[in-house]
């Protein structure tokens, strides 16, 4: 770690250009710190798709690969099978993983691929203008649901952590939230655990991270955190949903 700035070795000395209050910058640091803690930077490969996650290669100081929208689990599968000694993770948003990439993530989990997935859920399409995502909660207003999401016409939100818990090949599934200091600490532990399970060959793991998006939610950074606690966390409760080592599955 850089003793002067406190910057993790796995982060480049580059200024983040995410919107004020966005959770991506926090998550980038947590991933970098976890990789440094586990001393795996030299053999880590990250995969990011279209969306706000596309900027990851500008910030992570290890090998990064950009893929087509929704396809990181497929690319991660190929890399891990060809180079099983590498630590491979995908970094995906909800518009990517839970929409066009739904089949990819379910089948990667079903096969028990030994990869780590960091799933950023901000309940909206962040990069393209704040449209409704598969995770947009009931009643939430977006640019494509100005009156609020209605189950009768737009269906219900997808709960990815719960969905993948039921997939037999998954080994570790947890949902955390970046709305507070305790939540951020829990997120760091979950990310590190996911990577450690991969090192130990435990199989497929996914950490879902609830993340603020003040710009597309039309809120201030503070208001976005308050909305997460009062609304988003009610629909997406945090916790460990599956852990083949810890013996917990719900």
Asked if pLDDT for residue 108 goes beyond 60, the answer is yes
Task: Count the Cβ atoms, other than its own, within 10 Å of residue 61.
Answer: 17
Q: Does residue 99 sit within a domain?
A: yes
Asked if pLDDT for residue 228 goes beyond 80, the answer is yes
Binned at pLDDT 50, 70 and 90, residue 53 comes out as: confident
CA distance 102 to 105: 5
Give SS3 for 154: helix
Number of domains in the chain: 1
The predicted pLDDT at position 5 comes to 53
Asked if pLDDT for residue 51 goes beyond 90, the answer is no
The predicted pLDDT at position 248 comes to 63
Q: Does residue 9 sit within a domain?
A: no
The predicted pLDDT at position 249 comes to 59
Q: Does residue 184 sit within a domain?
A: yes
Q: Does residue 5 sit within a domain?
A: no
CA distance 205 to 115: 7
Binned at pLDDT 50, 70 and 90, residue 124 comes out as: confident
Q: Does residue 139 sit within a domain?
A: yes
| pLDDT tens readout for residues 2-32 | 443 589 999 999 999 899 999 999 999 999 9
The predicted pLDDT at position 52 comes to 84
Which CATH number is 217's domain given? 3.40.50.970
The predicted pLDDT at position 23 comes to 93
Range from 54-58, 138-142, 229-233 carrying the lowest mean pLDDT: 54-58
Binned at pLDDT 50, 70 and 90, residue 98 comes out as: very high
**Domain limits for position 196:** 24-249
Mean pLDDT of 113-140: 90
Asked if pLDDT for residue 68 goes beyond 60, the answer is yes
Mean pLDDT of 159-163: 97
| pLDDT tens readout for residues 132-149 | 899 999 999 988 889 999
| pLDDT tens readout for residues 180-224 | 999 999 999 999 999 999 999 999 999 999 999 999 999 999 999
Burial 222-247 (b: 16+ CB within 10 A, else e): eebbebbeeebbebbebebbbbeeee
Instruction: Please answer whether residues 29 and 72 qualify as being in contact, where contact means their C-beta atoms are separated by less than 8 angstroms.
Output: no
- 153-159's contacts with Cβ under 8 Å and 24+ in sequence apart are 157/123, 157/235, 158/98, 158/102, 158/134, 159/235, 159/236
Q: Does residue 128 sit within a domain?
A: yes
Q: Does residue 7 sit within a domain?
A: no
Q: Does residue 166 sit within a domain?
A: yes
CA distance 32 to 26: 10
CA-based max dimension of the chain: 55
Share of the chain above pLDDT 90, in %: 84
Task: Count the Cβ atoms, other than its own, within 10 Å of residue 8.
Answer: 21
Share of the chain above pLDDT 70, in %: 96
The predicted pLDDT at position 246 comes to 72
């Amino acid at each position: 770690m850089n003793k002067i700035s406190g910057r993790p070795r796995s982060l480049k000395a580059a200024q983040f250009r995410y919107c004020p209050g966005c959770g991506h910058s926090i998550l980038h640091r947590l991933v970098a710190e976890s990789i440094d803690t586990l001393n795996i930077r030299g053999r880590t490969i990250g995969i990011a798709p279209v969306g706000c996650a596309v900027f990851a290669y500008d910030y992570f100081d290890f090998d990064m690969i950009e893929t087509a929208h929704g396809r990181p689990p497929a690319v991660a599968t190929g890399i891990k099978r060809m180079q099983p000694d590498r630590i491979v993770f995908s970094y995906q948003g909800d518009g990517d993983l839970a929409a066009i990439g739904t089949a990819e993530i379910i089948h990667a989990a079903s096969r028990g691929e030994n990869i780590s997935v960091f799933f950023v859920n901000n309940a909206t399409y962040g990069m393209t203008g704040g449209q409704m995502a598969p995770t947009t909660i009931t009643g939430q207003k977006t640019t494509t649901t100005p009156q609020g999401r209605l189950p009768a016409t737009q269906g219900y939100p997808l709960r990815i952590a719960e969905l993948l818990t039921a997939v037999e090949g998954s080994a570790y599934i947890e949902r955390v939230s970046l709305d507070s200091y305790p939540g951020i600490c829990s997120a760091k532990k979950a990310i590190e655990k996911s990577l450690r399970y991969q090192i130990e060959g435990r199989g497929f793991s996914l950490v879902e991270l609830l993340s603020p998006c003040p710009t597309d939610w039309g809120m201030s950074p503070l208001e976005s955190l308050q909305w997460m606690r009062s609304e988003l966390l009610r629909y997406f409760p945090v916790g460990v949903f599956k852990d083949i080592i810890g013996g917990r599955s719900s």
